[in-house]
Amino acid sequence: MYCKYCGEKIQDGISVCPSCGRTLTEAGPDTDTEKDPHSSVHIWDVLKPQKNFSVCSFVCWGGALVGLIALLFPFVTLNMRGFSSTYYLFGTADGIYFAVIFLVIAVVNFSRFYLADLLGALVSGIWLVIESYSLNESLGANAGLIRFGAGRTVMIIGILLLFAGGVAGLILTALTRTENE
């Protein structure tokens, strides 16, 4: 027998689904919905949050942590005529945006909703590209005088970890749902 609300396989005669916690009606055509074992996995089944943490969750948390740590490293150094100035994202408006994105990803990851991790990684990556491009644009002909620092490199690593964790989580979810059917 399968739960009519979440589609998980449950024991016959059970009144509460152990997966979603919803109360099942006793008898009737809605309760005993038998799925075709050869049916394909629906997209919603892949996007549903998982019950247990996997390696993918820890990779995503690691990526968010690396992204937050990147804010503490120098983002860019400007060298002009013997003058050198180093800029950090920490404490700037853009740094706050990155921090919020990474913190939201870390919190949402507790639900094991890997699509959110993937979208957060994409938003962070796009934001980083825009940040780098706007810096080059604002300096115009002097753009060759800037050196991107460790903060940018570490942030790229964090974003790549988030992306890899999100993609691997979606794939793992699809494989797990297929095996359970």
| Residue 14, pLDDT above cutoff 60 | yes
pLDDT at 179 (0 to 100): 64
Identify whether residues 13 and 78 lie together within a single domain. no
| Farthest CA pair distance, the chain | 83
**How much is the average pLDDT of 118-142?**
84
Query: How far is it, in rounded angstroms, from Cα 147 to Cα 79?
Result: 8
pLDDT at 52 (0 to 100): 67
Residue 129 lies in a domain: yes
**How much is the average pLDDT of 7-30?**
70
Tens of pLDDT, residue by residue over 157-181, are: 999 999 998 888 888 877 876 666 5
**What is the 8-class DSSP label of residue 1?**
-
Residue 40 lies in a domain: no
| Residue 28, pLDDT above cutoff 50 | no
Domain that holds residue 22: 1-35
| Residue 29, pLDDT above cutoff 50 | no
Tens of pLDDT, residue by residue over 40-57, are: 555 545 555 555 677 888
Query: How far is it, in rounded angstroms, from Cα 68 to Cα 17?
Result: 39
Q: Using CA of residue 65, residue 46, residue 30, residue 11, what is the dihedral sign?
A: negative
Dihedral over alpha carbons 100, 57, 114, 160 (to 10 degrees): 70
Cβ partners under 8 Å of residue 93, min gap 6: none
pTM over 0.95: no
- The CATH number of residue 165's host domain is 1.20.140.150
Residue 47 lies in a domain: no
Query: How far is it, in rounded angstroms, from Cα 93 to Cα 115?
Result: 26
**Percent of the residues in the chain that have a pLDDT greater than 90, as a whole number:** 17
Identify whether residues 70 and 109 lie together within a single domain. yes
Residue 45 lies in a domain: no
| Residue 156, pLDDT above cutoff 80 | yes
The closest alpha carbon to 31, from 49, 13, 48, belongs to: 13
pLDDT at 80 (0 to 100): 76
CA 95 centroid distance within chain: 19
pLDDT at 45 (0 to 100): 53
| Residue 26, pLDDT above cutoff 70 | no
Question: To the nearest 5 percent, what fractions of the chain are helix, strand and coil?
Answer: 55, 10, 30
